[in-house]
């Protein structure tokens, strides 16, 4: 189950933010990542994640919408799809955003 939210931008596109269990981490280990997706609409944002292999991704509600800093980060990334360790970890404040390819490589290696 993922917590997340979205915000609609003035041009009509959306930024979806989701906190997901970290791929490759043992179940119940508590590792999670914050994933940001920029897309034309919410359905396309979720489709982008599902096409990458994150099949059980659903957005229910708007409990954790992206912060203004997160929106800026994803808009400035050429892929429009980034991640970092979820807030709450000691390292998440200093951690930079990573392209989604880095997360998928990390999970494939585990």
Instruction: State the pTM of this model.
Output: 0.83
Per residue of the chain (110 residues), give pLDDT as tens.
468 999 999 999 999 999 888 766 555 556 788 999 999 999 999 999 899 887 778 888 899 999 999 999 999 999 999 999 887 655 555 788 989 887 776 665 55
Report the pLDDT value the prediction gives residue 91, as an integer from 0 to 100: 54
Helix residue ranges, H only, the chain:
42-51, 68-75, 100-109
Residue 32 CB burial class (10 angstroms; 0-12, 13-18, ≥19): buried
For the chain, give every domain's residue range. Answer: 3-109
> What pLDDT, on a 0 to 100 scale, did the predictor assign at position 110?
56
Is residue 4 within 8 A of residue 17, CB to CB? The reply is yes
């Amino acid at each position: 189950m993922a917590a997340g939210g979205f915000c609609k931008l003035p041009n009509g596109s959306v930024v979806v933010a989701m906190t997901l269990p970290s791929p490759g981490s043992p179940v119940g280990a508590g590792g999670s990542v914050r994933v940001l997706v920029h897309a034309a609409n919410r359905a396309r944002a979720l489709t982008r994640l599902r096409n990458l292999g994150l099949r059980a991704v659903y957005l229910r509600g708007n409990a954790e919408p992206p912060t203004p800093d997160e929106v800026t980060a994803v808009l400035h990334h050429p892929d429009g799809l980034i991640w970092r360790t979820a807030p709450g970890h000691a390292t998440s404040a200093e951690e930079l955003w990573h392209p989604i390819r880095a997360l998928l490589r990390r999970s494939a290696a585990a």
